[in-house]
Structure 1
Amino acid sequence: MPFKSLQEFVRELESRGELVRIREPLSPILEITEVIDRVSKMPGGGKALLFENVEGYDIPIVANLYGSEKRIKLALGYENLEDIGWKLYRILRPEVPQTFLEKLKRLPELKKLNDAIPRVVKKAPVQEVVDRDPDLFFLPIPQCWPKDGGRYITFGQVITKDPESGIRNVGLYRLQVLDGKHLAVHWQIHKDGNHHFWKAKRLGKRLEVAVAIGGESPLPYVASAPLPPEVDEYLFAGIVMERPVELVKGITVDIEYPANAEIVVEGYVDPREELVDEGPFGDHTGYYTPVDKYPRMHVTAIVRRRSPVYLHTIVGIPPQEDKYLGWATERIFLPLIKFNLPEVVDYHLPAEGGFHNFCFVSIKKRFPGHAFKVAYALLGLGLMSLEKHIVVLDDWINVQDMGEVLWAWGNNVDPARDVQILKGPIDVLDHATNEVGFGGKMVIDATTKWKEEGYTREWPEVIRMDEEVKRKIDELWEKLGL
C-alpha cells in the first residue's frame, strides 16, 4: 500500500536498503546536484539520497526518491502499473449497464470511486508551524546548475482552482525564487495551470496558489500525470491508494492541500501585474531553457511540520529521476491509449528524447496505411500532441528494446516512401524549432510493407530458427556449460 507521508516512505526505503544517508556537509548551491546527478546515472537509477547536513539549514533534503522502477512501484503501491491505468479507464470510460444485474455489479466499483474522493480534515501535520511573515530562504531550496537563474522549487505540487468552475488542478511546475517573498511560476502554454491563469486574467481576479512538498507517497508523481482537465489529481491519487487523500484548508488561501505534506507555500498570482523574468534553467532536455516571462507569485504564508524533510529533484542530461516518472506515466496510460486505439500493442517514450522527442509504437497492422492512421490518432491525444518523431513498428517488435527498434527502423524504412513531415504544436522547451511551441513533426512507417502501400518487390522473410531445434537446445542448455 502507498505510504501516508514522505517520511514514512523514507523510513521504509531505508529499511529495504534503498536509501543512503549523506552526513557530509554539502551546499545546496550546486554541490548537492553534483551528487544526485552522479547517483541517478548509476545502473538502475542508484539509491534514494537523504542529505542530513545541508550547509546553513536545519532541514534535510531527500532526493532521487522515485528514481528507480522498484521505488516508484513501491510509492504507488503496485507491482504492475498498468493496473492503475485500467482503474482509471473504468472510471473515465464506464460501460452503460444493460440489465439490473449489471447495475448491481457496478455498485462496488462506484463505491470505490466514492471512497477515493478527497477528505477535508480540521487538523493537519503540515500546519504544526505557521509562518505568516514568510521567508523562502528559510527552506533549503537548491540551485541546481551553474547558469540557473537562481534557486528552484522543483518537486512541488502546484495547486490552483479554475476561476470559473472551481475544479482543482495539481501540476508539477518549477518555481524560481525571486526573493524571500516571491516566486516565478513556470506555467507553460499547454498546461492546465496556465489556463487557470489566463481565465483569472480575463476575469480580473487574483489566482490563489498553494505549493505542497511531500504528502502521501503517490502525490509527487500524480502532480506530473497528464490527466484530462476535468479529473482532479487528488481524486486520481485516491483511486490509486484506494483511500481518500486527506486535505486541509489553507491558512491564507481558499485552497485545500495535502494534510500530510511536509511543507506548503501559500500565496497568489495577480494577473494584472507585469510578467517577470524566469530562467535560465538547466532543463530535462539537457540544455538551459533561456529567460522568458512568467507570472509572479506573492507568498503569504509558509506552513510546515515541526521537523520537515524537503523533497527535491533535478533535471538535466538524462538519465535522471524523471526517467522513472515518465516510465510510470507510459505504463499507467497504456490502457487508455489501447481503449482509443485497440490495435496498439505497446509504446515507449524514451527519457533520452525528453519524452516528447520520440514515440515508438507497435501495432497489429490490418490495412494499408494503418501505421499513419495510428500516428495521426496519437497526435490527437492530450499531451501526445507534442510528440516530434513517431515511429510505428510491427506488433512483434519490442519497443522497449532500442536494439530491436533500430534494427526494424533501419531495415524497413525507405525515407522517400515511408516518411511524412507535418507541422503542429511542440513542447515549448524544444529549442530546435524556429518558433516557440510550434514546428515540424516526422511520422515514420517502419512496419512490414504491403503491395497496396507501393512496395513492388517481394518482402523478405525474417530469419527464425526451427522450433523443434530450439526446444532440443533448450533441454540441453545446462549440459552445454554455457
Structure 2
Amino acid sequence: MGYINLQDCVEDLERHGMLRRIELPVDPYLEAGMIQRRVYQAGGPALLFTQVTGSAFPMLGNLFGTLERTRFIFRDTLRTIETLVKLKVNPFQALKEPGRLLGAPLGALHLLPKRVGQSQAPALSCRTKLSALPQLVSWPNDGGAFITLPQVYSEHPSKPGFGKSNLGMYRVQISGNQYQPDKQVGLHYQIHRGIGVHHQEAIKRGERLKVNVFVGGAPAMSVAAVMPLPEGMPELSFAGLLGGHRIAMADLPGCLPVPAEADFCIVGSIDPHATLPEGPFGDHLGYYSLTHPFPFIEVEAVYHRPDAIWPFTSVGRPPQEDTSFGAFIHELTGDLIPTVLPGIKAVHAVDAAGVHPLLLAIGSERYTPYDGVTRPLELLTQANAILGQGQLSLAKYLLITAEQDNPELDIHDIGAMFRHLLERIDWQRDLHFQTSTTIDTLDYSGGGFNSGSKLVMAAAGPVRRSLMTELSGDISLPSGWSRPALALPGVLVLQGSAQALDNGEPDQAIQALCSFWEQQPLSDGIALVVIADDSEFCSRSLDNFLWVTFTRSNPASDVYGVAAATRQRHWGCSGPLVIDARRKSFHAPPLEEDPALEQRVNALAAPSGPLHGLF
C-alpha cells in the first residue's frame, strides 16, 4: 500500500536516506526556492525546512526531484498500473503473464473515493489564515507569494459529485497585487484545462463556482493533478490507483468535499464574471509570465492538519523538478499513445525547450506501401491528429518522421532526431503552417496572449543531403552578422543585432541576408540557420540551442528561407530554413537570480556551511 499522507512519506524517505532536514532558518522569499533549485540540479535529496521565516509550518522541497525517488515513492503500485496499461494496449500480451494480473482487480477497487466524516479528517482539525502560510516567492519580480504545488478541485455545476470532478495543478497566488489580504487568492489556469469546463457552466448558470485548493496529502494527489487523463476518468480515481488506496474525502456542509489526509485546504468560490490582475511569476519556459486578468477565489476558510507540512517546488528554465514529473508521467502513459493516436509510435514533448514549444513525433507511412516511402503522406494526417489532442494541441513546432526510414531511431535522442529530419526534409514541400491559432498561455513569442502560430515539419523518404559536422572555411556573411557556429550537424547559428520591430513585422535585414545567400550560396551541408542574440551561448549545448530557438520564435513571423516562394498558398524555400530566435521587445523577460542572495546561498554550501554536500 502507498502512503496515506505526506507525513508517512517524509518519515519513510528520511529512514531510507532520501530526505535531509534543514534546521537553520530559511526565508521563503527567494531563499528557499534558490536552495531547492540548486539541490535539484545536483540530484540531491528531498528537503524539509523546519524553521521557515514568517510561518510556523515546515516546508518540503524537492520531493519529486529525481525520477528514481519518484519511482520509490510509488513503488507499491507501479506494477499494478503497468499491468492495467498493458491490458488497455494488448490484453493478449498481459494474459501471457497471468501472475501479474493478480493485483489488477484490487488496484481497480481503489478507483472510487470513499466518504468519511469530519471527525475522521485530520485536514479539518485546525484553521488558519492565508498570511500565516509560507509566503513562497521564487523569483525577484514575482507579483507575490504563490502556491506552486496546488491541487485545485472543482465539480461540474450541473452534475456535482466525484464523477465529473476535476483536480488540476493551476497556479494560485495568495498575496500581492490587488487581492484583499486573507480574503482572496488568484487562480491562473491555462487553456485546455478541465476547470474551464466547470467555469463555463457556472457562467452559463449565472452562479458562483465552488473551488477548493488542497496542498499536500498523499503524494499521489499531486501527481494526479498533473496527469493528462482520458476523458471521463476523474483525477481522484487515478490518485487512488497510484496511491494504492481509496482516497478518503470528508464532506464539508455547503462546500465541496476535502481529502481527509490533506495538509491544507483553502475553501471558497469564484464569481463567474470577475477577474483581477494575476502575476507576474517565473515559469517553466524560463521567463516571467506577465500580469493578466484571471479569476480569483473568495476565501471562506483555510484548514490544516495539526502536523501540516507545506510542499513546494520552484519553476524556471528547464530542467527543474517538474521535469521529473514529466518523465514519470511518460513512463506511466507512453505505451497508450498508439491507442489514442493510430499510427503514432512515440511522442516527446521536449522539456529543454519548455515542453509545449517543441514536440517530436515518430509516425508511420502506410498509405502507399507498394510504392515505398518517398515523401510525407500519412504523417500529415497524424500530425493533425496530434495537434487535435488535448494539451498536445498547444505545441508550437511539431517535428515528425516516419518509422520506416529508421526503425531504431530513439525519439529521446534529440540530436539524432534533428539529424534524421534535416537529412531528409524538403523545405519547399514539407513545411505546414497554422497561423492565428492558440499556443501555450505562457509563450509570449506569438501575436498576443494565448495567440500565435504552429509549424509542422514532416520528413519521410531517402536522405537528401549530407549535413556539415564542423565549420570549414569562411561563411560568407554580409555586414551586421557575425560569430557563426554549429549547434548541431547542419545547424548554423549566427549572431545578429536586435531590431526594434513591431510584433509580426518582417525583418528586412534577415530578408536581405537570405537574398545575399541566393547569390553566394551556403554549403549544401547547412540545412537550418538560427539567428540568436548570442551565437556562442546558443551553440554551447543542446539544451541552450533548444531553449533559445523554440521559446524565442513564432513560426508565422520568425521563419524565413533562402530562395523562398509561395506556390498554391504553400510557402517553402529551396535553400536553408532561417529562424529568427532573438529576443523581441514584446517578449517576456528571462528569469535572473538575485546576485547577493546567490553569494549567501553559495556560502551556506561551502565546506564549513550547514548546506555543505547538498550542491
TM range (shorter): 0.7 to 0.9
2:135 aligned residue = 141
Per the TM alignment, residue 374 of structure 1 is displaced from its structure 2 partner at its CA by: 2.0
Q: 2:166 is matched with which residue: 145, 166, 169?
A: 169
Per the TM alignment, residue 152 of structure 1 is displaced from its structure 2 partner at its CA by: 0.4
1:213 aligned residue = 215
Give CA deviations for 1:57-94 in whole Å, capped at 9, x if unaligned: 2211001111211122123336968x736626857x99
Q: 2:379 is matched with which residue: 364, 371, 376?
A: 371
Whether the 8 Å contact between 1:253 and 1:266 is mirrored in structure 2 is: no
1:239 aligned residue = 241
Cα separation, 2, equivalents of 1:79 and 1:237: 11
Against the structure 1 CA distance between its residues 79 and 351, is the aligned structure 2 distance closer, same or farther, given a 3 Å change threshold? farther
2:58 aligned residue = 60
1:113 aligned residue = 108
2:183 pairs with 1:181: yes
Whether the 8 Å contact between 2:2 and 2:244 is mirrored in structure 1 is: no
2:409 pairs with 1:415: no
Whether the 8 Å contact between 2:167 and 2:225 is mirrored in structure 1 is: yes
2:494 aligned residue = none
2:332 aligned residue = 332
Whether the 8 Å contact between 1:73 and 1:79 is mirrored in structure 2 is: no
**Which amino acid in 1 is paired with 2:268?**
G
Cα separation, 1, equivalents of 2:53 and 2:107: 46
Give CA deviations for 1:415-438 in whole Å, capped at 9, x if unaligned: 223222224431111111103223
Within 5 A, what are the aligned runs for 1:23-62?
23-42=23-42, 45-62=43-60
Within 5 A, what are the aligned runs for 1:18-417?
18-42=18-42, 45-77=43-75, 84=81, 87=84, 112-122=107-117, 123-127=119-123, 129-131=125-127, 134-166=128-160, 167-177=164-174, 178=179, 179-250=181-252, 253-272=254-273, 274-367=274-367, 368=373, 369-393=377-401, 394=403, 395-417=407-429
Give CA deviations for 1:218-245 in whole Å, capped at 9, x if unaligned: 1101101122452211111222344311
1:433 aligned residue = 446
Against the structure 1 CA distance between its residues 345 and 16, is the aligned structure 2 distance closer, same or farther, given a 3 Å change threshold? farther
Against the structure 1 CA distance between its residues 85 and 382, is the aligned structure 2 distance closer, same or farther, given a 3 Å change threshold? farther
3-state secondary structure, aligned to 2:112: coil
**Which amino acid in 1 is paired with 2:53?**
E
Unaligned residue ranges in structure 2 (runs of 5+):
92-100, 368-372, 467-615
Give CA deviations for 1:273-331 in whole Å, capped at 9, x if unaligned: x3111011111111111111111211111211112110111111111111111222223
Cα separation, 1, equivalents of 2:85 and 2:260: 24
Whether the 8 Å contact between 1:253 and 1:267 is mirrored in structure 2 is: no
Give CA deviations for 1:241-292 in whole Å, capped at 9, x if unaligned: 4431111113x643122111111111111224x3111011111111111111
Against the structure 1 CA distance between its residues 449 and 439, is the aligned structure 2 distance closer, same or farther, given a 3 Å change threshold? farther
Cα separation, 1, equivalents of 2:85 and 2:116: 26
Against the structure 1 CA distance between its residues 88 and 214, is the aligned structure 2 distance closer, same or farther, given a 3 Å change threshold? farther
Cα separation, 1, equivalents of 2:143 and 2:157: 30
Higher relative contact order (CA 8 A, sep 6+): 1
Give CA deviations for 1:5-46 in whole Å, capped at 9, x if unaligned: 11211222222222222222111111111111212222xx43
The alignment yields a C-alpha RMSD, in angstroms, of 2.7
2:499 aligned residue = none
3-state secondary structure, aligned to 1:184: strand
Cα separation, 1, equivalents of 2:102 and 2:12: 35
Against the structure 1 CA distance between its residues 281 and 31, is the aligned structure 2 distance closer, same or farther, given a 3 Å change threshold? same
Whether the 8 Å contact between 2:2 and 2:74 is mirrored in structure 1 is: yes
**Which amino acid in 1 is paired with 2:138?**
C
**Which amino acid in 2 is paired with 1:210?**
N
TM-score of the aligned structures, taking structure 2 as reference length:
0.66
Whether the 8 Å contact between 1:148 and 1:280 is mirrored in structure 2 is: yes
Cα separation, 2, equivalents of 1:342 and 1:384: 15
2:95 aligned residue = none
Cα separation, 1, equivalents of 2:196 and 2:123: 28
**Which amino acid in 2 is paired with 1:417?**
R
**Which amino acid in 2 is paired with 1:158?**
V
Whether the 8 Å contact between 2:123 and 2:262 is mirrored in structure 1 is: no
Alignment length (residue pairs): 435
Per the TM alignment, residue 125 of structure 1 is displaced from its structure 2 partner at its CA by: 4.4
Cα separation, 2, equivalents of 1:359 and 1:347: 7
Cα separation, 1, equivalents of 2:82 and 2:398: 22
Per the TM alignment, residue 171 of structure 1 is displaced from its structure 2 partner at its CA by: 0.6
Cα separation, 2, equivalents of 1:89 and 1:436: 40
Which structure is larger by alpha-carbon Rg, 1 or 2?
A: 2
**Which amino acid in 2 is paired with 1:409?**
L
**Which amino acid in 2 is paired with 1:415?**
W
Whether the 8 Å contact between 2:48 and 2:60 is mirrored in structure 1 is: yes
Cα separation, 1, equivalents of 2:183 and 2:4: 30
3-state secondary structure, aligned to 1:180: coil
Cα separation, 2, equivalents of 1:149 and 1:108: 47
Cα separation, 1, equivalents of 2:314 and 2:87: 34
Whether the 8 Å contact between 1:2 and 1:74 is mirrored in structure 2 is: no
